[in-house]
C-alpha cells in the first residue's frame, strides 16, 4: 500500500510544471473573430443564430417566427433582419398559415413582419408563391405582392397583389397590368 501511495503521489505531481495543452478556442478561431470584429462598423449590431419569436397578435391569434440567422443594428434595435425565415400563424378557427422566405424583417415592437425573396405560403391545402409578403399587425392585414401565384383544388390565380384581411377573413385581389387577373377556376357542374 505504501508503494502504491508513493506512485500515486509521484504521477500526480511529476508533470506539475508542464504546460496544459487543452484549447477551448483555437488560434484560427480567435483570429477569425478578431477579423470579423474589426470589419464591423460602429452601427452594426448583434448576430443571432437559430432564433425564435412567438406571441399573440392584436387579434389574439398565436404566431411563431423562426430564422436561421438574424441581425440587428444598434441604431434601430427593434428591427431584426433575418435569413431563412419560417412563420406559423395559428388562427382562432383552428386553421394555420405557414410562410417561408429567404429573407425577412421583424419589428419586435409593432410585431410587423416582412418576407422577401422566394416567399411560399401554405393554408388549408392552398399554395401561394410570391416575391414579397408583409404582415401588418395593427391593421391585421397580410399583403402579398410581386409575381403572385395561387394554386388550390378550386383553380389557380396569377395577380400582382393579394390583400388578406385576417380579422374579417376576406381576400382582395388586385392587378396593375391592364387591370386583368389571370384565373383558372374549376367548377363542379352537374349535367342532366
Q: What's the pLDDT tens digit per position in 66-111?
A: 999 888 877 787 888 889 999 888 888 888 888 899 999 988 888 8
45 or 79: whose pLDDT is higher?
A: 79
Residue 24 confidence (pLDDT) above 60 = yes
Task: Show the CA angle centred on residue 102, arms to residues 35 and 54, nearest 5°.
Answer: 95
- For the ranges 58-62, 81-85, 183-187, the lowest mean pLDDT is seen at 183-187
35 has pLDDT over 70: yes
Instruction: Over range 131-150, report the average pLDDT.
Output: 84
C-alpha grid cell, residue 66: 423562426
pLDDT value at position 32?
A: 80
Length of the chain: 192
Query: 171 or 82: whose pLDDT is higher?
Result: 82
φ/ψ region of 162 (left if φ > 0, alpha if ψ in -120 to 50, else beta) reads beta
| Rounded average pLDDT over 158-168 | 78
pLDDT band of residue 42 (cuts 50, 70, 90) is very low
For the whole model, what pTM was predicted? 0.65
The answer to whether the CB of 166 falls within 8 A of the CB of 160 is no
User: Phi and psi of 12, rounded to 5°?
Assistant: -75, -40
Q: Say which residue, 3 or 43, is predicted with more confidence.
A: 3
Give pLDDT, residue 21: 62
Mean pLDDT of 110-129: 87
| Cα separation, 125 vs 102, whole angstroms | 22
Predicted local confidence at residue 182, as pLDDT: 56
Per-residue pLDDT at 84: 92
The pLDDT of residue 184: 53
Amino acid at each position: 500500500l505504501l508503494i502504491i501511495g508513493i506512485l500515486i503521489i509521484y504521477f500526480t505531481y511529476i508533470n506539475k510544471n508542464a504546460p496544459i495543452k487543452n484549447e477551448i478556442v483555437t488560434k484560427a478561431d480567435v483570429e477569425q473573430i478578431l477579423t470579423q470584429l474589426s470589419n464591423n462598423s460602429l452601427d452594426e449590431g448583434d448576430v443571432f443564430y437559430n432564433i425564435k419569436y412567438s406571441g399573440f397578435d392584436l387579434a389574439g391569434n398565436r404566431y411563431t417566427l423562426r430564422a436561421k440567422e438574424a441581425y440587428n443594428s444598434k441604431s434601430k434595435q427593434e428591427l431584426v433582419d433575418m435569413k431563412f425565415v419560417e412563420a406559423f400563424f395559428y388562427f382562432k378557427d383552428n386553421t394555420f398559415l405557414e410562410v417561408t422566405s429567404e429573407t425577412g424583417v421583424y419589428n419586435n415592437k409593432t410585431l410587423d413582419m416582412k418576407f422577401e425573396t422566394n416567399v411560399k405560403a401554405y393554408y388549408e391545402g392552398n399554395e401561394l408563391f410570391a416575391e414579397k409578403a408583409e404582415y401588418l399587425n395593427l391593421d391585421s392585414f397580410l399583403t402579398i405582392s410581386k409575381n403572385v401565384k395561387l394554386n388550390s383544388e378550386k383553380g389557380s390565380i396569377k395577380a400582382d397583389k393579394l390583400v388578406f384581411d385576417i380579422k374579417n377573413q376576406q381576400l382582395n385581389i388586385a392587378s396593375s397590368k391592364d387591370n386583368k387577373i389571370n384565373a383558372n377556376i374549376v367548377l363542379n357542374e352537374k349535367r342532366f
